Structure 1
Amino acid sequence: MVGFGEVAAGISLVQLFSLCVDGLRTLSRARNSPTSVMDFSIKLDLETSRLVLWGRNSGVAAGELHSSLEPVQPLLFQILSALSRNIQDADGLKTKYGIHNFESEMKNSPAPGQAVDSAVDNVDILLTPVVQAGLQQQQAISEKIGTCNNFFRKATWAISDGKKSAAFLEDIKRYVDGLNQLLTESQQVLLADDITAMKIALMGSKWGQPINMLTAIEAATLNCHRSIALTAKLTRLRLEMEMETTAPALSSEGPVLETPLPIGDDQFRRVDKQQGMRVMVERGKPQS
């Protein structure tokens, strides 16, 4: 790929982070069947959000790495460089991950800026306030970079192999895990708070079909982020109980409650504690 992948070698850590976020956001709308699109989009948006929140807590999203992380800056650059290479290599995306650019084959398909299934846009983790705050910082950096990744943004991406694309998601998760592990203990605590805030906002989203959306989130995160899968399940069950309780009091033509019952911060933390893990701060060896 020309104009995107070749830029990474000569840029700063901050710029590299921004390009990674832009690339992941573009790929998260790769097309195929509505089911595979939703599952892929939810998982990749979640990893993108975790990367954004890492940038927020490391200082990179604001344009300057926290001084406490300067000793591990070479490792951070190494991880972000590996992440960017996976995103930017069009041949690798196609052969290794089953994600390809087929713009020339989409004459009768929706334009690149349009969603194939509106449900995908409704499950948008990137719209949660805490993630939006980090994205606003990142987008300011992206504007300064200019048109380096315009080709990548304009290309139309599609999933041609579900198993290979699942491997892509696993690799992205490992890179983000590695970045998180290099945060200081106090930064990891703040990251955990941000992840909890993201979950609270996500589970309280006003979807047109909340049970379907919560079910999709639960299915997408069950094997990779069980804390989120469990909170989605609990929210769905509480909503179903609320609807069953309310249904007898409604006429046959009356409205049905569509907004999940809010789950408080303390309840989310109890769920995370039961999972025996810090909120989304994975424990494993950083990827080289």
Structure 2
Amino acid sequence: MSGVEPFAVTSLILQLLSGCLCGIQTISHMKGTKDEVRSAVLMLKLEEYRLTTWSLRSGASDGLLHSGLDENLVHRTLRHLKSLIGDTKTLCSSYGLAVQDSQPVPATTSIATGITRGRTFPTFLSKKIRTISVSGVRSQITWVLQDKSKFDRLLAIMRSLIDVLHQGLGDINFDTMREDIGFLRLQMVNLADKIDDVRSVTQAIEINEGLDSDACTCAVVKALRIGMETTLPMTTNGTTSSPILPESMQTIAPLRPRLLTSFSGNNRRGFANYDGSPVFVEWKRIVADETVARGLRIERQVATLATLLSIEKGPTFRSLRCLGSFEDTANFRYGFVYTLPNQSQSRVVSLFDLFYDSAFKASLTMRLELAQNLAITLLHIHTAGWLHKGIRSSNVLFFSNGSPASLDQPYLMGYDFSRFDGENEVSEKPVPNSEEDLYRHPSAHPAAPSRYRKEFDVYSFGLVLMEIAKWKPLKHIAKDFIGRSGCTPDSLEQMKKTFLEPISNKVMDDLGFRAGSIYTQVVMSCLGSLSLNMSNENADWGYREDLQEAFVEKVVKPLLSCSI
């Protein structure tokens, strides 16, 4: 290859790349058993996305490789990949496919076609990736999937070859692409509406990342959430079973209140022992005169939420694992019982409390890392189909035996009003509380008529980001906007408009001075531009796609890009 002119080399690479993508697209129209095909096509399309992402970052999609890349390695890798997916005989004999029909047809394929359009696969990739058309003639083969295990071997080889291309771009580009693909997997979980779709996404994630990944955790929670929206029969041993969920994803039985002893805390939360082991308890108060029907729905909602919170989570999903819930009828409340991060820890402090701790000095590096951790946690909560409904600094907790040495182990708690993001769910209105209402979007105030939506969580998160940067509680930042009348929808609306004022904005100017322009723009996005479709009460598929993508692109990625 050393004697070939650079343009000729890259033209050959462009042809090989086009052949690879054309072959992938042909195979992706395979037929066969519905569930197996769904999973196989999803995994195949993930590899297509990884290849198209590489083509953009390497310059191959422009017909000219970036300097520093090994053209010989790129050529050999693409040639191997093209021959792998273009060899009909080998695909049939070794990789579980069979040919049903074959005929040559003219076709226009494209580089960077993204993921198949449809409700199972995200459409946003098609909009994000630039397209380069390559005309030609290809064989329109109708493939049939006969052996999924053999086809998985083909995918594994494809994945390893595309890994070689990614690694050739260097550590920074490689890490960035891995991050992008991680967000893609979360988006697929977010958009999966049916249990079969979630299972297919879970299988694809398991093959690529393993069951311990955060995306897989979100997929499992999403599957459980979808399954529990149906009426599930009770088995003879008292546990809930469902034909559409694996046995490991069943609802957990209510805890026994008499086993909870030695509670020490307040009417919100505290430490206790459950059946002899140290635990953490959070309380959910209920209205004493609830109707029977509504009370039963809230009881079911509490049990369901406890089950969702009981699933083991990855290290970036910053929430305690719930052991279960119980009803404290004498005090009109439910208790959520959680395991402790470490059973020797006996002290908890909230972010709100730390603002008043003059002895605790939080560096800008520590505060930025805290903001990043919380952003990813909120992304996971929304991906799994939850609404938190209580994001504020008093619900960001740190556990220790004494004062926390850093902010790198936060836990987002306060799920007492959390629920599924579904039209049929009970949307409880909290009792008005000025300190808590201050963090609510004006349309999420207890006196407002709107049902709660994800963008309200994003708005509250933006206010917490402001607190973290200024290292002071919101009530001091907003003291000029909230008068003696307390928090009303009107006063919250005035505060929101003031924070978003484009000219002579002292609050945001100070924020920029303390945390920089990128961080400030993230806060502005949370408070303003991410409030999509605010007049639309129905969170349809396209709306969820746009909101999640916007949160990743305007909040999560910019925060992760910040460094001190």
Runs of at least 5 residues in structure 1 that lack an aligned partner in the other structure: 1-8, 105-118, 270-288
User: Which residue does the alignment assign to 1:225?
Assistant: 209
> What RMSD in Å do the two structures reach over aligned CA positions?
3.5
Residue in structure 1 matched with residue 170 of structure 2 by the alignment: 184
2:26 paired residue number: 26
CA distances 1:236-269 after superposition (whole Å, capped 9, x unpaired): 553264157952469xxxx996656948549988
Query: Is the Cα–Cα contact under 8 Å of residues 10 and 63 in structure 2 kept in the other structure?
Result: no
Matches within 5 A, 1:1-288: 12-69=12-69, 72-103=70-101, 121-125=118-122, 127-129=123-125, 132-134=127-129, 136-137=131-132, 140=133, 142-143=134-135, 146-147=136-137, 150-151=138-139, 154-199=140-185, 201-205=187-191, 209-226=193-210, 227=213, 228-233=215-220, 238-239=384-385, 241-243=419-421, 246-248=424-426, 262=548, 264-265=551-552
Q: Supply the AA of the counterpart residue of 1:175.
A: L
Supply the distance in 2 between the matched residues of 1:232 and 1:19 (Cα, whole angstroms).
33
**Matched residues in 2 for 1:192 and 1:173: separation?**
13
- Using structure 2 for the length normalisation, give the TM-score: 0.36
Does the 8 Å contact 1:128/1:202 carry over to 2? no
Counterparts of 2:173 and 2:101 in 1: how far apart (Å)? 42
Alignment CA distance shift 1:92-1:219 (3 Å): same
Aligned residues: 228
> Aligned equivalents of 1:67 and 1:11: distance in 2?
15
Give 1:91's aligned amino acid. Answer: K
CA contact 1:247–1:256 (8 Å) conserved in 2: no
User: The residue matched to 1:122 in structure 2 has which SS?
Assistant: coil
CA distance 1:158–1:132, change in 2 (3 Å): farther
- The secondary structure found in structure 2 opposite 1:155 is strand
CA separation of 1:195/1:10 partners in 2, compared to 1, >3 Å: closer, same or farther?
Answer: closer
Deviation at 1:184, TM superposition (A): 1.9
| Larger radius of gyration between Structure 1 and Structure 2 | 2
Identity %: 21
Letter in structure 1 aligned against 2:131: Q
Provide the rounded CA distance (Å) in 2 between the counterparts of 1:230 and 1:170: 22
The 1:59–1:133 alpha-carbon spacing in structure 2 relative to 1, beyond 3 Å, is farther
Name the one with the larger helix percent.
Answer: 1
Q: Report the residue type matching 1:122 in the other structure.
A: R
Distance in 2 between residues matched to 1:163 and 1:88, nearest whole Å: 19
Higher strand share: 2
The alpha carbon displacement at 1:170 in A equals 1.0
Q: Offset at 1:229?
A: 2.6
Give the Å deviation of 1:132: 4.7
